[in-house]
Structure 1
Amino acid sequence: MQKLNLPTYHFKLKNSENKTLIFDNLRKKYLVLTPEEWVRQHFVRFLVDDKDYPTSLIAIEKQLTINNRTKRTDILVFNNMGHHDIVVECKAPSVKITQDTFDQIARYNLKLKANFLIVTNGLEHYYCRMDFDNETYIFLKEIPDYKSAL
């Protein structure tokens, strides 16, 4: 898999039926290793290992309904009170991040009302803090670590 613009982590990999699988520590199971999954697994590890977010506050592929359609967030981080705090949209490294990507995560956040949005393809990362009063988001240099977000 492609080297990403994130720290290097060690993952448990195995082969099955001519497919490479990666072990997801949060869901406690092996998943097919797609380029998007590679980014998702790295970003979860970045949040846990480098930003100190507890795994107990992170959900992967959390289902939500928007306009009677089922959608899934790639990564959803909750705060200590159980409210949505961070929504992360992951794309494969080959996928260019466009306004459509931001529109997608913004639609999700109309329902979720999270404080922070992150869009990443593993190579480029965009961090935003919501400004609900002005119905916009403010770009940040990085996402706060868990302790400073409290």
Structure 2
Amino acid sequence: MLQINFPEHNFRIKKEKNKHIIFDEVRRRWVALTPEEWVRQNFLQYLIQVKNYPASLISVEKIIRVGDLSKRYDIVVYKEHTPWLIVECKESNTPVDIKVIEQVIRYNMALAISYFVITNGNESFCYEISRNSFRELAALPEL
């Protein structure tokens, strides 16, 4: 399991039509503040502030085709214009288990990434993908 300490950040949050929304600095727009979005926003700040991944190389919530289905990933980090690392975020009370790993592996059929992370904000795991196997890492890779 990764040891992740989310950095302090001044999130821009406001209430609109009786719902809280948060400004996503990567997408540059306001989005609904759901429990999963809270995890996603904190993990984005970890990638940018702690791991020093440039925000310009990060893509958030884009649609991909997996077979005949349209799916939406949470976070993809690019390296040399190629998807390199994917992060699947779940709300804090959702276990990060084999079902989540299987979800990311399906996304990998479309993206062919080298690394994936699964997180619910409390627990986070990083894996390196090589050929048809993957191994758990103790830390996120350097970009």
**TM score, norm. by length of structure 1:** 0.89
Spell out the pairing of 1:85-104 with structure 2 (5 A cutoff): 85-104=84-103
The answer for unaligned runs of 5 or more in structure 1 is none
Alignment partner, residue 82 of structure 1: 81
Q: Tell me which stretches of 4 or more aligned residues in structure 1 moved more than 4 Å.
A: none
Alignment partner, residue 37 of structure 1: 37
User: Is contact 2:126-2:136 (8 Å) kept?
Assistant: yes
User: What amino acid sits opposite 2:60 in the alignment?
Assistant: I
User: What amino acid sits opposite 1:126 in the alignment?
Assistant: F
The answer for unaligned runs of 5 or more in structure 2 is none
User: What amino acid sits opposite 1:12 in the alignment?
Assistant: R
Instruction: Provide the rounded CA distance (Å) in 1 between the counterparts of 2:76 and 2:18.
Output: 31
How far does residue 5 in structure 1 lie from its aligned partner after superposition?
A: 5.2
Instruction: Provide the rounded CA distance (Å) in 2 between the counterparts of 1:5 and 1:54.
Output: 19
Percent sequence identity over matched residues?
Answer: 35
User: Is contact 2:88-2:118 (8 Å) kept?
Assistant: yes
Aligned partner of residue 62 in structure 2, secondary structure: strand
Alignment partner, residue 109 of structure 1: 108
Aligned-residue CA RMSD (Å):
1.3
Quick one: higher RCO (CA 8 Å, sep 6+), 1 or 2?
2
User: Is contact 2:7-2:49 (8 Å) kept?
Assistant: no
After superposition, what is the alpha-carbon deviation per residue over 1:88-139, rounded to whole angstroms, capped at 9, x for unaligned?
A: 100000101111100000110122111100000000000001111xx11110
Q: Structure 2 vs 1, CA of residues 72 and 102 (structure 1 numbering), >3 Å: closer, same or farther?
A: same
The count of residues paired between Structure 1 and Structure 2 equals 140
